[in-house]
Amino acid sequence: MALDSEQLADIEAIRTQSAPTRRATVPALEDMLYTALPVLDHGFVRVIDYMGDDGAVVQAARVSYGRGTRKVSEDAGLIRYLMRHRHSTPFEMCEIKYHVKLPIFVARQWIRHRTANVNEISARYSILDREFYLPAPENLAAQSSINRQGRGEVIEGDEAQRVLDLLRDDSMRTYANYVDLLNENPDGTPADPSRPGLARELARMNLTLNTYTQWYWKTDLHNLLHFLSLRADSHAQYEIRVYAEAMLKTVEAWVPACYAAFRDFRLGAVTFSAPMLAILRRMLAGETVTQPDSGLSKREWAEFQAVIAATDVSPLG
């Protein structure tokens, strides 16, 4: 995580400031405010601002004037009911804003979630830093033979080193060419006065997708939880999953009751289709069910078996 001394000083100066407010504040998240949580080799996630708390979700659900006199356990029970029955609007009343530093290829995957306000650093106006994501050896894997979107066995030995060398050399070479095309010193003067520099908006196209970018990403709690349910899942690509896992820590600090309900009813839960539920009833009645007589496709059957095996329900055909 490349934060220089000046940036760290700026962050610390902001963290020392405080102001009286009538707004709901959460001490656990206040302690994390502006602090960069390291992700990957040069990336980070940090909370810049937030609005609302667990009480705001409850208040919105009840459409009450104040926080009420109900017990915390009653509020948690209502939040669990809302989460269990997928009532989304009360969760939309809370918002959070992140500053994220991430590789461009992760950003292009992330931006598919079109439910946030995003402002990304523009390489039309700024010169991007010479920082690239290079996978750790344990995350360097071959293409899966059964999943077009997944990884297979980890690449090791000389082949792993060859791949890493290629990734590093390509990144360094294209960035050097980027700087050469810009022909620009840090103070904006030409590096070589005898030739013009290419426009920044054109020079940027030569950069590799593992180059780091940054953005501010603001969303409401409902859409944040939807994002996390997909990206914190074990099937998500590693490079975006680790960002989701860092963000989960901020959600737990911010809205602990909502986080607990989300963990139980979304992260730790599974959904059965109507045919799967019918098969499960047959199995619980003692019938042996196989894929040919299940009515499920081979892929659906494999997914169903994986869930059932994990919960130790038998018999399996």
pLDDT in tens, 242-268: 999 999 999 999 999 999 999 999 998
Assess whether 16 and 52 both reside in one domain: yes
Asked whether residue 148 is domain-assigned, the answer is yes
Assess whether 100 and 217 both reside in one domain: yes
Q: How far is CA 233 from the centre of its chain?
A: 10
Please say which residue of 159, 190, 206 terminates a domain. 206
Assess whether 109 and 216 both reside in one domain: yes
Q: Tens of pLDDT along 117-155?
A: 999 999 999 999 999 999 998 998 888 776 667 777 888
Assess whether 194 and 246 both reside in one domain: no
Question: How far is Cα 98 from Cα 302, in angstroms, rounded to an integer?
Answer: 38
Asked whether residue 317 is domain-assigned, the answer is no
Closest CA to 223 of 119, 71, 73, 91: 91
Give the structural domain span for 182: 137-206
pLDDT (0 to 100) of residue 153: 86
Q: Tens of pLDDT along 54-82?
A: 999 999 999 876 665 567 788 999 999 99
Structurally, the chain folds into a number of domains equal to 3
Assess whether 175 and 289 both reside in one domain: no
Q: With bands split at pLDDT 50, 70 and 90, how would you rate the model's confidence at 317?
A: very low
Please say which residue of 206, 223, 251 terminates a domain. 206
Asked whether residue 315 is domain-assigned, the answer is no
Closest CA to 282 of 268, 296, 269: 296
Question: How far is Cα 47 from Cα 224, in angstroms, rounded to an integer?
Answer: 13
Closest CA to 213 of 146, 131, 278: 131
Assess whether 91 and 198 both reside in one domain: no
Assess whether 222 and 113 both reside in one domain: yes
> What's the whole-model pTM score?
0.88
Q: Which residues are catalytic?
A: 231
Tokens of 297: 């496709």
Any residues with CB less than 8 A from the CB of 130 and at least 6 apart, and which?
175
